[in-house]
A and B are shown apart, each in its own frame.
Chain A
Amino acid sequence: MPASLVQTESILAIDVGASVTRAVLFDVVEGEYRFVASGQAPSTAEAPFKNIGIGAREAIRNLQSVTGTILLGPQDNNIITPTQPDGSGVDGVVATMSAGPAVKTVIAGLLSEVSLQSARRLAESTYSRVVDTLDLSDKRRPDQQLDSIARSRPDLVVLTGGTDGGASRSMLKMLEAVGLACYLMPAEKRPMVLYAGNHKLANDVRELLGGHAGKLQISPNVRPSLEVEDLEPASNVLASLVTNLRQRQIKGVDELYNWSSGNLLPTAYAQGRMIRFLSRLYESTRGLLSVNMGASASTVAAGFNGELTLGVYPQFGLGENLGAILQHTEIEQIMRWMQLDISSNTLREFLFQKSLYPSTIPATQDELAIMQAITRQALYLAVRAARTSFPASAHAARTDLMPKLDLLIAGGGAIADNGSVGQSLLLLLDAIQPVGIMPFLLDQNNLLPMLGAAATRSNYLPVQVIESGAFIGMGTVVSVIASASYGETVLRAKLTYADKTEVRADVKFGGLEIIPLPSGQTARLTLSPLRRADAGLGAGRSGSVTVTGGALGVVIDARGRPLNLPADAVRRRELMKRWSHAVGG
Chain B
Amino acid sequence: MLASVLHILPLATIVRERVLPVAGKVSAHLNQRVSPTDVIAEANFAREHVLIDVARAFNVTAKVADRMIKVNERDRVAQGALVAESGGMFSRSIRAPRAGRVMVAGGGQILMEVGDAKIELRAGLPGVVTQIIPEKGVVIRTAGALIQGVWGNGRIDNGTMISLIEKPDDVLTAERLDVSVRGSVILGGHVRDADTLRAAADVPVRGLILSSMYSSLLQMAYQMKYPILVLEGFGAMPMNSAAFKLLTTNDKRDATVNAEHFDRYNGNRPEVIITLPVTNEPEEPNLYETFAVSQTVRMKRPPHAGMIGSIATLRPGLSELPSGLRAVAADVRLENGETVIAPLVNLEVVG
Report how far A349 CA is from B303 CA in the complex, Å. 14
Contacting residues, chain B, for A323 (C-beta < 8 A): 215
Q: Closest A-chain residue to B115, C-beta based?
A: A147
Asked if B322 contacts A183 (CB within 8 A), the reply is: no
Asked if A368 contacts B215 (CB within 8 A), the reply is: no
B233 within 8 A of A: yes
Report how far A352 CA is from B234 CA in the complex, Å. 7
Asked if A363 contacts B288 (CB within 8 A), the reply is: no
A364 within 8 A of B: yes
Asked if A142 contacts B51 (CB within 8 A), the reply is: yes
Stretch from A41-49, A75-83, A198-206 at the B interface:
A41-49
Besides A47-B266, A47-B287, 18 new A-B residue pairs in contact (Cβ under 8 A), listed by A number: A19-B345, A44-B2, A45-B265, A47-B265, A50-B265, A58-B2, A100-B265, A320-B264, A353-B234, A353-B235, A360-B301, A361-B325, A361-B327, A361-B345, A363-B322, A363-B342, A363-B343, A367-B302
Asked if A146 contacts B323 (CB within 8 A), the reply is: no
Within 8 A of A (CB), among B1-50: 1-2, 4-5, 22-23, 48-50
Interface size on B, residues (CB 8 A): 49
Q: Closest A-chain residue to B236, C-beta based?
A: A349
Contacting residues, chain A, for B264 (C-beta < 8 A): 46-47, 101, 320
Within 8 A of B (CB), among A92-143: 100-101, 141-143
For the complex formed, measure the closest distance between the CB of A19 and the CB atoms of chain B, giving whole angstroms: 8
Asked if A349 contacts B324 (CB within 8 A), the reply is: no
Contacting residues, chain B, for A357 (C-beta < 8 A): 300-301, 346
For the complex formed, measure the closest distance between the CB of A367 and the CB atoms of chain B, giving whole angstroms: 6
Asked if A368 contacts B288 (CB within 8 A), the reply is: no
Asked if B346 contacts A363 (CB within 8 A), the reply is: yes
Asked if A143 contacts B23 (CB within 8 A), the reply is: no
Interface size on A, residues (CB 8 A): 54
Within 8 A of A (CB), among B266-302: 266-268, 287-288, 300-302
User: Which B residues fall within an 8 A CB radius of A?
Assistant: 1-2, 4-5, 22-23, 48-51, 53, 103-104, 107, 109, 111, 150-151, 214-216, 218, 233-235, 262-268, 287-288, 300-303, 305, 321-325, 327, 342-343, 345-346
Asked if A353 contacts B233 (CB within 8 A), the reply is: yes
Report how far A366 CA is from B324 CA in the complex, Å. 11
Q: Closest B-chain residue to A186, C-beta based?
A: B23
Cross-chain contact of B104 among A180, A346, A352, A419 (Cβ < 8 A): A180
Asked if A48 contacts B4 (CB within 8 A), the reply is: yes
Within 8 A of B (CB), among A359-396: 359-368
For the complex formed, measure the closest distance between the CB of B74 and the CB atoms of chain A, giving whole angstroms: 14
Q: Closest B-chain residue to A208, C-beta based?
A: B107
Q: Closest A-chain residue to B266, C-beta based?
A: A47
Report how far A114 CA is from B15 CA in the complex, Å. 52
For the complex formed, measure the closest distance between the CB of B225 and the CB atoms of chain A, giving whole angstroms: 22
Q: Closest A-chain residue to B342, C-beta based?
A: A363
For the complex formed, measure the closest distance between the CB of A581 and the CB atoms of chain B, giving whole angstroms: 15
Report how far A282 CA is from B11 CA in the complex, Å. 65
Cross-chain contact of A365 among B4, B215, B323 (Cβ < 8 A): B323
Report how far A183 CA is from B109 CA in the complex, Å. 14
